[in-house]
Amino acid sequence: MEGGESTVSAKELEVAVKAVHLACGLCERVQRRLVSSRGVERGGTSPPIISSKDDDSPVTVADWGVQAIVSWLLSESFGSENVSIVAEEDVEALSESNSRGLLSAVVDAVNECLADAPRFELPKPDKILSDLDVVGAIKRCNATGGPKGRFWVLDPIDGTLGFVRGNQYAVALALMVDGKVVLGVLGCPNYPVNREFLSYHHQYYNTAQHSSTTANGLSEKGCVLYATRGSRKAWMQPLVRGENGFTWKGDARVIRVSSIDDPAMATICEPVEKANSDHTFTAGVADSVGLGNQPLRVYSMVKYAAIARGDAEVFMKFSRSGYKEKIWDHAAGVVIVEEAGGVMTDAGGRPLDFSRGVYLEGLDRGIIACCCPVLHEKIVGAVYASWESSNL
């Protein structure tokens, strides 16, 4: 496969990219059911798809399903004793006595998805996985990160809110070695392959609905991006939809950040949810450096895909004070953005530190990613200048 380099083995790269492709298939099936069965479910006829976590954020059959298949595939491919995974979901809610329906929906989704594994030259279970197998695979993702060793970092569905709204979301898998992210893979099943399909000035879900398939079978939406540390290249593969779900073509093309360094021509992208990033503050920063365009608001790490691919020039995220960013929300994105030629730091201009457990400890105020050092320096300077007068 294209894009490998020494810290990451060719097999690690291949399994990671293919596992994310396969996972995108699971997500797409669940999202379709979710969107089409809305309303019917209240009558109690469909299996449950969504639950909620302690913080009231949603978690779905697809979050657990993706975590289970990625964990199972990595263990099968490399041996479970060699695989450590830090991942977002735990099994508590799934193991409650009133969650039988949810668990069986997860197990069904996992088995249906793994049946497609041979199409990607990935291992397939000899027999249908049981509830215990699936719960075991999810539970095995219990690593806690840190400065030493080799471990995977997985956000099975980043942007679950976008996912349940039929909108953008990402499957994000990264590999870390001794505290550094060395491989990032981002699956973006609803992200248009061609930038002509992007509509900057409209609500983003408009693009999620544009999903026709062309005569050569290439869908206009859906891609997997990946990069290995030090390769100075990032790659994109379109998701190819066949009759029975995604098929593997392996075609990848190099992607590159935008060459725009004039703020007047630049577009910022940021979270859709005001609760996740202060839109007023970012608008003030954008204004003070003379950024001319409307912001592109997108759920999930698809924003990093947008920067890496040159669809937007600046990413900013400023969470409310007290919120601690988690490594799985940024690990895959950072290596893809940087290898595509971008710059990514905290608001003080320092590299993000992935080596201190599950949180990005020591993060200075917020996260900034830019296509070039010129814009990055201007944004960091503008944040510095406007911080004191902000309420953050």
Catalytic residue flag (residue 116): no
Name which of 259, 279, 276, 255 is nearest 268 in CA terms. 279
When the beta carbons of 120 and 191 are compared against Mg ion, the nearer one is 191
When the beta carbons of 164 and 375 are compared against ligand A3P, the nearer one is 164
Should residue 158 be labelled a site residue for ligand A3P when binding is judged by CB under 6 A? Answer: yes
Rounded CA separation 66/155 (Å):
9
Contact yes or no for 84/149 (Cβ under 8 A): yes
Rounded CA separation 223/245 (Å):
14
Residue 54: burial class (beta carbons within 10 Å; 0-12, 13-18, 19+): exposed
**According to CB under 6 A, which one of 75, 111, 160, 219 is a site residue for ligand A3P?**
160
Catalytic residue flag (residue 207): no
Rounded CA separation 71/201 (Å):
39
When the beta carbons of 155 and 338 are compared against ligand A3P, the nearer one is 155
**According to CB under 5 A, which one of 89, 155, 278, 325 is a site residue for Mg ion?**
155
Contact yes or no for 223/305 (Cβ under 8 A): yes
When the beta carbons of 116 and 158 are compared against ligand A3P, the nearer one is 158
**Across-strand partners of 224?**
187, 237
**Across-strand partners of 377?**
none
Rounded CA separation 182/334 (Å):
10
Should residue 329 be labelled a site residue for Mg ion when binding is judged by CB under 5 A? Answer: yes
- Helix axis angle for 10-36 and 61-78, nearest 10°, is 160
184 CA to centre of own chain? 10
> Could you say which residues in the range 272-291 bind ligand A3P, by CB under 6 A?
273, 275-276
Catalytic pick among 116, 158, 160, 267: 160
The binding track of 297-326 with respect to ligand A3P, each residue x by CB under 6 A or -, is --xx------------------x---x--x
When the beta carbons of 88 and 313 are compared against ligand A3P, the nearer one is 88
The binding track of 52-71 with respect to ligand A3P, each residue x by CB under 6 A or -, is -----x--------------
Measured from the CB of residue 149, what is the shortest distance to ligand A3P in angstroms?
24
Measured from the CB of residue 57, what is the shortest distance to Mg ion in angstroms?
9
Residue 323, binding choice from ligand A3P, Mg ion, none, Cβ under 5 to 8 Å by partner class: ligand A3P
**According to CB under 6 A, which one of 159, 184, 189, 245 is a site residue for ligand A3P?**
159
Residue 236: burial class (beta carbons within 10 Å; 0-12, 13-18, 19+): buried
Rounded CA separation 179/176 (Å):
6
Measured on CA atoms in the order 193, 168, 101, 89, is the torsion positive or negative? positive
Planar angle of CA 204, 207, 212, nearest 5 degrees: 165
Measured from the CB of residue 172, what is the shortest distance to ligand A3P in angstroms?
8
Contact yes or no for 146/32 (Cβ under 8 A): no
Measured from the CB of residue 123, what is the shortest distance to ligand A3P in angstroms?
27
Task: Report DSSP letters for 176-219, one per residue.
Answer: EETTEEEEEEEEEEEEESSGGG--TTS-THHHHH---B-TTSEE
Measured from the CB of residue 169, what is the shortest distance to Mg ion in angstroms?
9
| Residue 321, CA distances (Å) to 275, 299, 316, 392 in order | 11, 20, 15, 6
Measured from the CB of residue 103, what is the shortest distance to ligand A3P in angstroms?
20
| 3-class DSSP assignment, residue 240 | strand
Nearest position to ligand A3P, beta carbon: 271
- Helix axis angle for 131-139 and 61-78, nearest 10°, is 80
Stretch binding ligand A3P (CB under 6 A), from 29-37, 138-146, 243-251, 271-279: 271-279
The binding track of 69-108 with respect to ligand A3P, each residue x by CB under 6 A or -, is -------------------x--------------------
When the beta carbons of 158 and 270 are compared against Mg ion, the nearer one is 158
Should residue 270 be labelled a site residue for Mg ion when binding is judged by CB under 5 A? Answer: no
> Could you say which residues in the range 157-186 bind Mg ion, by CB under 5 A?
158
When the beta carbons of 86 and 129 are compared against ligand A3P, the nearer one is 86
Residues engaged in binding ligand A3P (CB under 6 A): 57, 88, 155, 158-160, 162, 271, 273, 275-276, 299-300, 319, 323, 326, 329
Residues engaged in binding Mg ion (CB under 5 A): 155, 158, 329
Q: Which residues are catalytic?
A: 63, 160
